[in-house]
Chains A and B, each alone.
Chain A
Amino acid sequence: QKEVEQDPGPLSVPEGAIVSLNCTYSNSAFQYFMWYRQYSRKGPELLMYTYSSGNKEDGRFTAQVDKSSKYISLFIRDSQPSDSATYLCAMSFQGINDMRFGAGTRLTVKP
């Protein structure tokens, strides 16, 4: 079993749809949870960061962490074609040094 599981998709939605991206994990010691966005042929960039359980909202993006279920989600409201990218979840125990990444979900938002 992988430490971090993420459905690779691809996921295709129409413009304006609500997108839900998810990851599950096996190690309950993870404390920090991140979502990175990676455009084609580019490096990943940090989108959202949360510590422990709870929700965090930033504009059209909401990150949720449910430690009891070992499940994290990223919601994108009013999705735009510019949101088309691969979204990688990541989590760590203490900080950057021990981050584990999911395989990434490829999202396409069609105009």
Chain B
Amino acid sequence: NAGVMQNPRHLVRRRGQEARLRCSPMKGHSHVYWYRQLPEEGLKFMVYLQKENIIDESGMPKERFSAEFPKEGPSILRIQQVVRGDSAAYFCASSRRDSNTGELFFGEGSRLTVL
């Protein structure tokens, strides 16, 4: 009964390169959420997706960031032309379709370091 799987766990990129972070939700979960966590700051919502649909991307920066959750395969958070300020832990979470209990299941995060 695998939980939310994220990879890579650690990613190092130089300024200007692209970062791709992948997330496979828990089995039976059709809702995926991406959060960013900076040191001493809370989790900041970025985007909420269902299969093939972006439901809410109000937390996503307008440029360089994009997310998808294709019919087959993991959800991907893509950051183009990374800058040092993108260095953070990026967490993916999933929930059941009908969950309204606030129970998000989080992955262990992908830690991006931009040199």
Of A11-19, A73-81, A93-101, the segment with at least 4 beta carbons within 8 Å of chain B is A93-101
Q: Which chain B residues border A8 with CB–CB below 8 Å?
A: 40
Establish whether residues B42 and A43, one from each chain, have CB atoms under 8 Å apart when the complex forms. no
Q: How many residues of A contact B (CB 8 A)?
A: 25
Chain A 19-54 per-residue mask, 1 if CB under 8 angstroms from chain B, else 0: 000000000000010100000011111100100000
A-B contact pairs, 9 of them (CB 8 A): A43-B107, A43-B108, A46-B103, A49-B101, A95-B100, A96-B95, A96-B99, A96-B102, A99-B104
Q: How far is the CA of A102 from the CA of B40 in the complex (A)?
A: 10
Chain B 75-115 per-residue mask, 1 if CB under 8 angstroms from chain A, else 0: 00000000000000001010100011111111111000000
Residues on B lying within 8 angstroms of A by beta carbon are 4, 31, 33, 35, 40-45, 48, 55-56, 91, 93, 95, 99-109
Q: Does A109 contact B (CB under 8 A)?
A: no
Q: Does A85 contact B (CB under 8 A)?
A: no
Establish whether residues A45 and B56, one from each chain, have CB atoms under 8 Å apart when the complex forms. no
Given known contacts A96-B33, A96-B95, A97-B48, A90 and B102 CB-to-CB distance under 8 angstroms: yes
Q: How far is the CB of A3 from chain B (nearest CB, A)?
A: 10
Establish whether residues A46 and B42, one from each chain, have CB atoms under 8 Å apart when the complex forms. no
